[in-house]
Amino acid sequence: MEYVNFGSAGIKVSKIALGMGFRGQADEAMAQRVVEYAIEQGINLIDCANIYGPMDDRANIGRSEMILGRALKGKREDVVITTKVCGQIGSGPNDSGLSRAHIMREVQRSLKRLDTDYIDVYLVHGPDVFTPQEETIRALDDLVRSGIVRYIGCCNHAAWQVCRALWLAEKLHCVPYMCVQHPYSLVNRGLETEMFGLVREQGLGVMAYSPLGVGLLTGTYTPDNIAPIDSLWGTRRKDIYANTMTGAVGELVKLLHTEAAHLTKTPAQLALAWVLSRPEVSVAITGADTIEHIKDNLGGIGWAVPTNVLAELNQASSALRLILD
């Protein structure tokens, strides 16, 4: 396993993280085994959220934190965990957002589900236009100073929002964000427009989620074939699959398959290696649902994509910015 500094912070994390979304894994015992296997293979960064649950089922909100808590028994000090706050966790008026009240309540709930007394990286899951950023920054600072949280970061923010948050933290003498988390892949290169320049300047780490384009780049799908009936794109996303795989996306997927075969790699391994070739990216978060997925994904590290292949993939994907989540 390869380990890197998380942005400019001293903490070291594996270049591949395991995401706890489990879109295709309904068996909680197997989900726990996937986490345990990832840790056994040296993956020391596990990404979670208070709203995550197996199969993306709203009825399962919080279950992923509970699964992670069970998997960490006897291993807590060896693993860096993230969890998040902001998303809708109930029907009440204060059941979402980044108010002090919501943050303080949800961090305690997350700690209980995770069965731990601290969170390594606490992330705001998205911007909250109804709460002043000052209130959010001060609440997060209190959590860090109390020892409940060690680092903070943000997800899915525009570059200007991150910049303002960093400015506010400095102005208020509060702890600043250490990292950002965003989708980044061959089919979504939007971070390159503004965010990469900001993170280089400010020394922020980047957690790239959906590095395989929500599964499109795993090798399971090709534009000339229908999606497997038991897959994500063959079930919940089947209505948009054909349109998604047309044009530039379809051509890119074909190229990925061809170049991966030439390199004796899988499409997933080449797609992950491409993401990790960017110096701005600290880690790629893989949404592995099975041990086999993890084994495949681990082949995305430990080697460099040849310059000519990088150039071809860059050219084929240069204009792509699919909004996939």
Nearest to 210 by CA among 292, 314, 127, 324: 324
Nearest to 11 by CA among 118, 105, 129: 118
126 DSSP assignment? S
Handedness of CA 155, 185, 193, 200 (dihedral sign): positive
* Residue 315, φ and ψ in degrees, nearest 5: -65, -40
226 DSSP assignment? P
Name the 3-class secondary structure at 89: coil
Tokens of 7: 């942005």
Active site residue 209: no
The whole-angstrom separation of Cα 289 and Cα 287 is 6
Tokens of 54: 């197996």
Please check whether residue 75 is in contact with residue 41, taking contact to mean a CB–CB distance below 8 angstroms: no
The radius of gyration computed from the CA coordinates of the chain, to the nearest angstrom, equals 19
Tokens of 187: 């089919």
Tokens of 288: 């592995």
Of 52, 151, 209, 241, the active-site residue reads 52
Catalytic residue ranges: 52
